[in-house]
Amino acid sequence: MDPLPLSYINQYAYCPRRFWYMYAQSEMEVNAHVLRGVQNHERAHTPGYESQGDGVRIHRRVYVFSERWQITGFCDLLEEHPDGRFVPVEYKQGKQGRWMNDQAQLCAQALCLEEMTGHSIEQGAIFYFGSRRRVDVIFDENLRAETGALIDAMQRAVAIGEILPHTDQKSRCRGCSLHDICLPEETRVLSP
Ligand code: SF4
């Protein structure tokens, strides 16, 4: 099996069926929310690095991978601190949500970085464009376990090769750009 792009962890955590549409069927609908996210990411995704006055070196668009987890992807930003700490930073559209999908995606980057560098990565951060806030994320045991379980579940789903059920959390469908492809209400009404 090919390594899974770690950005899909976010999609799977939001809704496994959405992950399936995007990863297995290459379906994507660009609504305003998605387009804003793409444009914001383009600004952050110019590769290279720069140094800050406090001695922190900022690397942009850093490729990461993990043999152990069979995932691959990019960090939007990677801070390299003078004390040797690496801190991955992810840019996200909107504000911090109630779900852990963004945190799991960032944690997957940390798992990759730990394997690549041999350093323990304790903390990362997510910058939300909607609120202009930077939120620290601690990679504790719970988040690591949750992230590992998501990766395992994605790989099992791909190996089985069947479309996944609708989420039972209807509020997620309202904001989903794939709603008109997925038709969750219609499917519910027509299901025996
Ligand atoms: S519409 Fe709902 S069930 Fe369908 S992919 Fe989106 S979130 Fe999942």
- Measuring from atom 4 of ligand 1, which residue has the nearest CA? 182
User: Are the CB atoms for 95 and 102 separated by under 8 Å?
Assistant: no
Please give the distance, rounded to the nearest whole angstrom, from the Cα atom of residue 172 to the centre of ligand 1.
Answer: 7
Instruction: Say which residue, 157 or 96, is predicted with more confidence.
Output: 157
Ligand 1 atom closest to 16 (CA): 8
Please give the pLDDT value at position 45.
Answer: 59
Buried b / exposed e across 159-189, counting CB within 10 Å, b at 16+? eeeeebebbeeeebbeebbbbeebebeeeee
Ligand 1 atom closest to 170 (CA): 2
- For residue 83, name the pLDDT band (cuts at 50, 70, 90): very high
Please give the distance, rounded to the nearest whole angstrom, from the Cα atom of residue 10 to the centre of ligand 1.
Answer: 13
Residues 4 and 73: their CA atoms lie apart, in Å, by 8
Please give the distance, rounded to the nearest whole angstrom, from the Cα atom of residue 169 to the centre of ligand 1.
Answer: 9
DSSP assignment, residue 100? S
2: left (phi over 0), alpha (psi -120 to 50) or beta: beta
Please give the pLDDT value at position 2.
Answer: 87
Domains (range + CATH), the chain:
4-190 (3.90.320.10)
Range of lowest pLDDT (6-15, 90-99, 158-167): 90-99
- Measuring from atom 3 of ligand 1, which residue has the nearest CA? 166
Please give the distance, rounded to the nearest whole angstrom, from the Cα atom of residue 191 to the centre of ligand 1.
Answer: 16
Computed over every residue of the chain, the mean pLDDT equals: 89
User: Are the CB atoms for 109 and 90 separated by under 8 Å?
Assistant: yes
Please give the pLDDT value at position 27.
Answer: 84
Q: Which residues does a 6 A CB cutoff place in the pocket of ligand 1? A: 15, 17-18, 21, 166-167, 172-173, 176, 178-179, 182, 184
